[in-house]
C-alpha cells in the first residue's frame, strides 16, 4: 500500500490523524502530513478507514502487490 495526499484539498478536520496516528499527522495549520508513505500491513485497515472518513477526499491510496 502506498499513501499520498492532496494537501490543497485538505480541510484540516484531523479525522485521518484520529484514525491512523501512526501514518498521518498535521502541520501547524492542520493540513495533513504523511508520516509513512508505505505503512506496514498492521496499519492498512486504519489507512483505509482514514480514506473513508476524510471529508475532503484528500487521501489516496494505491494497493500494491
Q: Classify burial at 40, counting beta carbons within 10 Å of its beta carbon; exposed 0-12, middle 13-18, buried 19 or more.
A: exposed
The phi-psi region of residue 63 (left if phi > 0; otherwise alpha if psi is between -120 and 50; otherwise beta) is beta
pTM: 0.92
Q: What is the CATH classification number for the domain harbouring 58?
A: 3.30.70.20
pLDDT for the residue numbered 14: 97
Instruction: Identify the domain containing residue 30 by its residue range.
Output: 2-62
Q: What are the tens digits of pLDDT across the range 6-65? A: 999 999 999 999 999 999 999 999 999 999 999 999 999 999 999 999 999 999 999 877
Query: How many domains does the chain divide into?
Result: 1
Amino acid at each position: 500500500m502506498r499513501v499520498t495526499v492532496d494537501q490543497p484539498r485538505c480541510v484540516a478536520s484531523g479525522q485521518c490523524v484520529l484514525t491512523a496516528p501512526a501514518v498521518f499527522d498535521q502541520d501547524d495549520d492542520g493540513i495533513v502530513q504523511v508520516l509513512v508513505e508505505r505503512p506496514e500491513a498492521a496499519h492498512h485497515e486504519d489507512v483505509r478507514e482514514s480514506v473513508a472518513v476524510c471529508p475532503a477526499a484528500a487521501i489516496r491510496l494505491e494497493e500494491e502487490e
